[in-house]
Structure 1
Amino acid sequence: MGIIKYYNFEDSEVFIFDEFIINQVKEAVVIEPHHNDIFNEVVQEHFSGKSMVYISNRVKSYSVNPLIYPEAEKIPNLIAIGIIPKTALMRRNAEYEQKFFHKPYEIFDNLRDAIVWVHKIMSDTKNNSDSMKEIPDSNLRKF
């Protein structure tokens, strides 16, 4: 589970792993829908054709425009988001933002728990995908 790539962008630090991205946004940044373009480029470069999970490790104070979430949902291989808020206010903000994202979205107290969840989500996704492959075409016609 070692890190594959590290990016130090103007607005955030991004850590790429096999199944997920950890993003740490820098102090006082306002995350807007255009940030999804950069995120999507990174996702397609490192996860083209495979599922992945986004983890936001919120260690700095910054703002998120919740309209980023409907756009993020359009990234086909982004299957879930995990948020690790540092403060109670950050947790309340993450709970509010959750209303705008309609794929799995969880809030965690620490990075370890978030990573354990990533592995479970990825395993569940793989198992669901494998079980769909096992249904013979003749059975699908019944639906």
Structure 2
Amino acid sequence: MGIFKYYDIGHAEVFVFDDFLIKQVKEGVIIDLKETDALKEVLEENFKGRNVAYISNRMTSYSVNPLVYKEIENISNLVAIAIIPNNHLKKSNAEYEKQFFKKPFGVFDSLDEAIKWVHHIISKENSEIPV
């Protein structure tokens, strides 16, 4: 499971793998609809017609407008979001954000846990696709 592609999309770095991506937002950024458009472009380019999960590796301090979750919820092949906060405040923020996204949304203590969870969700989603 090596990295497939790397993007620096200005406000964040994105690491694309076979069936998920990891996004690390840069310090001090405010995530709003404009930043969501950049994520949509990466998803469209790399995962068209395939289920994908999004992992947010929250290593820096930044703000998220929770209304962006309503926008990205409409991405049909985005089946789950995993958040990896690196402190208690970020974990509380992620738990708050969870209420704005109606698809599977998990908060994890490590990248390894998040990857295992998204693989499980994607496998489940893929097995439910009618042939």
TM over 0.5: yes
Partners of 2:8 and 2:123 lie apart in 1 by 30
Does residue 13 in structure 1 map to residue 13 in structure 2? yes
Give 1:75 deviation, angstroms. Answer: 0.8
Report the alpha carbon displacement of residue 9 of structure 1 after superposing the two structures with TM.
2.1
Q: Which amino acid aligns with 1:50?
A: R
CA distance, structure 1, for counterparts of residue 51 and residue 18 of structure 2: 10
Aligned mates of 1:14, 1:56 — CA distance in 2: 9
Note if 1:27 corresponds to 2:27: yes
Point out where structure 2 has 5 or more consecutive residues left out of the alignment.
none
Q: Corresponding residue for 2:123?
A: 123
AA matched with 1:6? Y
One-letter amino acid matched to 2:114: A
Q: Report what 1:37 is aligned to.
A: 37
What letter is aligned with 1:44? E
Find the aligned partners of 2:36 and 2:62 in 1 and give their Cα distance. 16
The alignment's TM-score, normalised by the length of structure 1, stands at 0.89
User: How many angstroms apart in 1 are the aligned matches of 2:128 and 2:77?
Assistant: 15
Letter in 2 for 1:60: T
Q: What is the Cα-based RMSD across aligned positions, in Å? A: 0.8
Which digits, 9 at most, give the CA deviation of each residue in 1:30-64, with x for residues without a partner?
00012111111110100001000000000000000
Give the equivalent residue in structure 2 for 1:4.
Answer: 4
Q: Identity across aligned pairs (percent)?
A: 52
Q: Distance between the aligned counterparts of 1:81 and 1:36, measured in 2?
A: 14
SS across alignment from 2:33: coil
Aligned counterpart, 2:99 = 99
Runs of 4+ aligned residues of structure 1 deviating over 6 Å after TM superposition are none
1:62 is aligned to 2:48: no
Post-superposition CA distance 1:109-132 (Å, at most 9, x none): 000000001111111111111xx4
Query: Which residue identity is paired with 2:65?
Result: N
Aligned position for 1:137: none
Distance in 2, Cα, partners of 1:9 & 1:107:
24
The structure with more radius of gyration: 1
Paired residues in the alignment total: 131
Report the counterpart of residue 140 of structure 1 in structure 2: none
TM-score (norm 2): 0.97
